[in-house]
Amino acid sequence: MKPVIKEARKENMKNILKLIKECERYDVEFAERYYKRYFSESIDEITEKDKVYVAFDNEEVVGVIGYCRDYFATDYSYWLGWFVVSNKFRRNKIGTALLKQIETDLKKIRKRKIFVSTGDRNAPAKSFYTKSGFRTEGVIRDYYWTGEDQLIMSKHLEP
């Protein structure tokens, strides 16, 4: 299956949040606050350079990915946000296609590095990111709970 990837629109928000709830239950409240802000009608200096994409299987949202500028670093660093693919579509190259979309966008605007965080016990995510060219930059011990560390991973984007 070749995924259909489109820039997310306000009417996709409910399905994006449903997907996040399916895959990352602990993050739903924060995701809801973010997407309300992202899809608001007013220009927002926090989200104005962000972009969110969704992957569709027919009319169903089966994946989401976004990026945002790292406001606490230089302008060339961006973070991936809510990179989620539905469990039943994980072997269909949807994640790879979504990541390539983000990398293409960021290369066009001459950004050089992307970061992502994930739990150190999330073997599928760690494997995916490593195969996609990310490396571990740091570890925050006991971030999610005692014994579950957060990994900070990055990838340099070649022009």
pLDDT, residue 1, reads 65
Q: What is the model's pTM?
A: 0.90
**CB-hemisphere CA count at 13 Å for 67?**
22
pLDDT, residue 158, reads 82
Amino acid identity, position 34: Y
- Per-residue pLDDT of 116-152, as tens digits, reads 999 999 999 999 999 999 999 999 999 988 999 999 9
Calculate the alpha carbon distances from 49 to 25, 67, 78, 129 in Å: 26, 9, 10, 23
Average pLDDT across each block of 10 residues of the chain; the chain has 159 residues. List them in order: 89 95 84 92 77 93 92 78 90 92 93 92 93 96 92 92
Q: What is the rounded CA–CA span in Å between residue 109 and residue 92?
A: 28
Q: Are 139 and 152 in contact (CB under 8 A)?
A: yes
Q: Which residues contact 103 (CB under 8 A, 6 or more apart)?
A: 114, 157
| Domain boundaries of the chain, sorted by first residue | 4-156
CA 127 vs. chain centroid, Å, equals 16
> Residues for the chain: how many in total?
159
4-156 folds as Aminopeptidase (3.40.630)
Closest C-alpha to 5, from 81, 88, 73, 105: 105
pLDDT, residue 142, reads 95
Nearest 5 degrees, angle CA 48-CA 35-CA 137? 75
